Amino acid sequence: MPLILQACPSFLPTWRKIKDDLYLEDDGSRSGYGDSWEVARHVVELQRTHQVAELPAVFSVMERLRTEGDDYVQTLAWAGYIEDVQNAALRPPAVPLEAFEPYLADQSARDWHRLIAEWSRKTPP
């Protein structure tokens, strides 16, 4: 979370609200996946309201987590942050997924498109 907060200071008010009571695992540790959903909702709202100045840095952190993290962090980066941004973007009022593509780096872009392809195969015609 420190990397996300550094990249996206506008998320700090939300983080202060959720950091002590939401998304705790049974053992009391933080759930990275719960946190990723909150970040994703914030990122989508930034895009929706055209406040995109922080988005390059946020997606750069996602890329870094995906390429430099341990196995848990790498999985969290694509199955949490990247997929959560897509899911949050599709909720009304929807934001086109293409709006986020300029912020994606190499691995994140591959993950992004792979997830879209996987979901399109699961969606009935």
Predicted pLDDT of residue 1: 87
- pLDDT above 90 for 119: no
pLDDT value at residue 24: 61
Place of tokens 């879209």: 116
Closest C-alpha to 84, from 118, 115, 61, 121 = 115
At residue 58, does pLDDT exceed 90?
A: yes
DSSP, collapsed to helix, strand or coil, labels residue 27 as coil
Q: What are phi and psi of 51, to 5 degrees?
A: -105, 70
Tell me the pLDDT tens digit for each residue of 10-54.
999 999 988 776 556 667 666 788 889 999 999 999 999 999 999
- Give the model's pLDDT for residue 23: 58
Does the bond joining 2 to the residue before it have cis omega, within 30 degrees of 0? no
Domain positions in the chain: 2-122
